[in-house]
């Protein structure tokens, strides 16, 4: 039977967690190991100093492990400490907010978890949900009872995609798979295999007198053509499936190579 390790970067009280675990349970055995609180924007950070507290909790009728660390810690502790053997697949998410474009992908704890899975030879898929309306209003709404239908629906879509991956196998060319789901996605929403759009953002902090706080305005800047990218698919209301390879190098022109190697 297929074994899954489910994690996230939104923490133990994330509204998508129990629906995703339930949806995956029809495909195999599910172990849930997630941060004890929100650990967004943490990428693939690993705890190196101090102790990490681990405890069992119940959320939505699902037995889970709450871990006082980062998403990548959860993969390590879950796969090699809490499970009898490493899982067949790590499923991360469903993240509150999209992880579209290279800038978000590099910062995301949701993707960081599956990057760590790849580092230890375990396949991984990261799922993220994109809001359509105003971000701050949407973030408040996703924790309400009115949002339960959305999370259950998106969890069903995610489980359907995991089932497809189990049938086809993960591509050898990819280290991780990043899936972005529009908030209105369902089982009939068209899917597109996309590239990772090259993106940047500006200042993340504001402050003075020695005190700075996170103050990101949510603006992403694109570099180059976005046709065929994850941004393009999401803007078209489609599900974006992005195979990402981190073990890669960029080509250099002959003149620059000669100068660097001289």
Crossing angle of the two packed helices 17-25 and 148-168, in degrees rounded to 10: 40
Q: Can you give the residue ranges of every domain in the chain? A: 2-198+226-261
Mean pLDDT estimate for the chain:
95
pLDDT tens for 118-160 read 999 999 999 999 998 788 899 999 999 999 999 999 999 999 9
For residue 90, the model assigns a pLDDT of 98
Helices of type H across 26-183: 71-77, 101-107, 109-119, 135-141, 148-168
For residue 212, the model assigns a pLDDT of 94
User: Mean pLDDT throughout 216-244?
Assistant: 93
Pick the CATH number of 2-198+226-261 from 3.40.50.800, 3.40.50.170, 3.40.50.920, 3.40.1210.10: 3.40.1210.10
pLDDT tens for 35-93 read 999 999 999 999 999 999 999 999 999 999 999 999 999 999 999 999 999 999 999 99
CA distances from 215 to 74, 99, 161 (A): 27, 18, 35
DSSP summary character for residue 97: B
Nearest to 177 by CA among 127, 211, 108: 127
Residues 212, 149: Cα–Cα separation, whole Å: 38
Instruction: Supply 39's token pair.
Output: 């650990």
């Amino acid at each position: 039977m297929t074994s899954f390790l489910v994690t996230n970067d939104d923490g133990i009280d994330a509204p998508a967690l129990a629906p995703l675990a339930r949806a995956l349970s029809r495909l195999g055995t599910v172990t849930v190991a997630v941060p004890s609180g929100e650990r967004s924007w943490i990428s693939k950070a690993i705890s190196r100093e101090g102790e990490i507290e681990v405890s069992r909790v119940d959320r939505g009728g699902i037995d889970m492990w709450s871990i006082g660390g980062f998403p990548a810690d959860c993969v390590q502790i879950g796969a090699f400490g809490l499970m009898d053997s490493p899982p067949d697949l790590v499923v991360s998410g469903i993240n509150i907010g999209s992880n579209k474009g290279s800038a978000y992908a590099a910062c995301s704890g949701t993707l960081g978890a599956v990057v760590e899975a790849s580092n230890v030879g375990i396949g991984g898929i990261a799922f993220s949900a994109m809001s359509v309306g105003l971000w701050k209003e949407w973030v408040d709404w996703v924790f309400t009872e009115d949002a339960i239908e959305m999370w259950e629906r998106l969890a069903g879509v995610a489980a359907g995609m995991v089932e497809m991956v189990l049938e086809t196998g993960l591509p050898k060319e990819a280290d991780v798979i990043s899936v972005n789901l529009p908030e209105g996605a369902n089982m009939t929403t068209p899917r597109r295999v996309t590239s990772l759009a090259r993106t940047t953002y500006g200042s993340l902090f504001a402050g003075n007198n020695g005190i700075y706080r996170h103050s990101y305005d949510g603006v992403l800047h694109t570099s180059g053509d976005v046709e065929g990218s994850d941004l393009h698919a999401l803007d078209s209301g489609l599900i974006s499936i992005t195979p990402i390879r981190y073990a890669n190098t960029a080509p250099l022109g002959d003149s620059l190579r000669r100068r660097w190697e001289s």
